[in-house]
């Protein structure tokens, strides 16, 4: 059940990241055409692309992990026994979950504070300040869910990260 939920969230958040990438590209092309042809600008391109980049990075992280695309140093693992590899995998997953969980917690607190106080961005197009980090937060939660599913599989010895395909999550 957890593995299926993790797969669904991973694929869904990856699709949203792709949509954000396409939107950022389209907006950039429109802005270039607008500046070239009409000599005007929305003056918020870099701001919106920055929001999109942060969201896209975290939204794509869980699918990247599932596909084996995250940086992983296997130099020690190739000499380790399966039991030692399992312990190292559990340690790395717990460390990653701690770091991402802590960051997600503080992003959530900041979003909550901004929502409660009614803060807005200081730009030409004022947005509620809780809105820009929303994609980042959702991506962190999806990544945590996937790391949790992977941790359960490693602990139950259904998967050793160095040997198995991430598609089995």
Residue 112's pLDDT is: 97
89 Cβ contact partners less than 8 Å away, ≥ 6 residues apart: 154, 160, 161, 162
Residue 169's pLDDT is: 46
Positions of the chain with pLDDT lower than 50, given as ranges: 162-169
The reported pTM is 0.82
Residue 96's pLDDT is: 93
- How confident is the model over 46-91, as pLDDT tens digits? 999 999 999 999 999 989 888 877 777 677 777 888 888 888 889 9
Residue 31's CB: how many other CB atoms inside 10 A? 19
Residue 35's pLDDT is: 93
What is the spatial distance between Cα 21 and Cα 108, in angstroms, rounded to a whole number? 24
- With beta carbons less than 8 A apart as the criterion, state whether 9 and 169 touch: no
Residue 160's pLDDT is: 52
């Amino acid at each position: 059940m957890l593995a299926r939920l993790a797969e669904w969230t991973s694929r869904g958040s990856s699709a949203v990241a792709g949509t954000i990438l396409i939107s950022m590209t389209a907006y950039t092309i429109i802005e270039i055409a607008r500046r070239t042809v009409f000599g005007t600008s929305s003056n918020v391109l870099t701001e919106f692309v920055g929001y999109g980049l942060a969201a896209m990075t975290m939204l794509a992280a869980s699918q990247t992990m599932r596909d084996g695309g995250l940086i992983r140093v296997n130099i020690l693992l190739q000499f380790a026994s399966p039991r030692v590899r399992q312990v190292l995998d559990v340690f790395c997953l717990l460390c990653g979950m701690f770091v991402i969980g802590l960051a997600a917690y503080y992003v959530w607190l900041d979003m909550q504070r901004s929502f409660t106080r009614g803060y807005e961005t200081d730009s030409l197009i004022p947005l509620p300040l809780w809105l820009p980090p929303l994609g980042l937060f959702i991506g962190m939660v999806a990544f945590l869910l996937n790391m949790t599913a992977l941790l359960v599989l490693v602990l139950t010895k259904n998967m050793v990260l160095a040997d198995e395909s991430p598609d089995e999550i």
